[in-house]
Structure 1
């Protein structure tokens, strides 16, 4: 029998992290990679930062689609739960409770 190499544990740990944190971290890493790439090419001063921003934005849009959608789903679920709780509270305050 083979022993686990820990990759499955790391995958589960990543799944437990907040999708917003993962998306923000990945976006920052893409930006830093663009800064390094443009620095090696020869960009300096504000051209370096502006170039990295302009390059990392479309890269993040295409490369981080899965993380962005997971974050949006989490936010949408939270909004739905809050709206349902709000509707329950309004019904209870209005006396429309179905409870005996």
Structure 2
């Protein structure tokens, strides 16, 4: 059972136990309920400490997972998370042939008129 469910059921159980203990006392029903809330909260502080600590640990773990996932998604959206296999060099140390002519820095013959005689 989840620590949050255990703690919640424990709090409800303490409230009901205190309310039933106050039931035979002659006073206004709203005053009985307010006293039951106050006394059950005080008892829960001491009696349910272990369950409360378990629940807090579970919530902290879930928050840490959400924070890590949010940071991962932000990094991916910002472009920081790039795949490592985008450019694979060949064994000669030159980039792999992509089918496009390599830019050697020399002027090309493109745009020059051809000699047709």
Hey, what's the Cα distance between the residues in 1 that align with 2:38 and 2:66? 37
Counterpart of 1:89 (choices 64, 69, 73) is 73
Deviation at 1:85, TM superposition (A): 0.7
Counterpart of 1:31 (choices 15, 30, 33) is 15
TM-score, structure 2 normalization: 0.65
Structure 1 range deviating more: 44-53 or 78-87:
44-53
- What's the counterpart of residue 74 of structure 1? 58
Hey, what's the Cα distance between the residues in 2 that align with 1:84 and 1:35? 44
CA RMSD between the two structures: 1.4
Hey, what's the Cα distance between the residues in 2 that align with 1:43 and 1:24? 29
Hey, what's the Cα distance between the residues in 2 that align with 1:43 and 1:99? 74
Mark the structure with the bigger radius of gyration.
2
Higher relative contact order (CA closer than 8 Å, sequence separation 6+): 1
Distance change in 2, residues 1:97/1:79 (3 Å)? same
Q: SS of the counterpart of 2:23?
A: helix
In the alignment, structure 2 segments of 5+ residues that lack a partner are 85-117
TM-score, structure 1 normalization: 0.75
- What's the counterpart of residue 61 of structure 1? 45
Deviation at 1:59, TM superposition (A): 0.2
In the alignment, structure 1 segments of 5+ residues that lack a partner are 1-16
Q: SS of the counterpart of 1:97?
A: coil
Number of corresponding residues: 83
Deviation at 1:89, TM superposition (A): 1.1
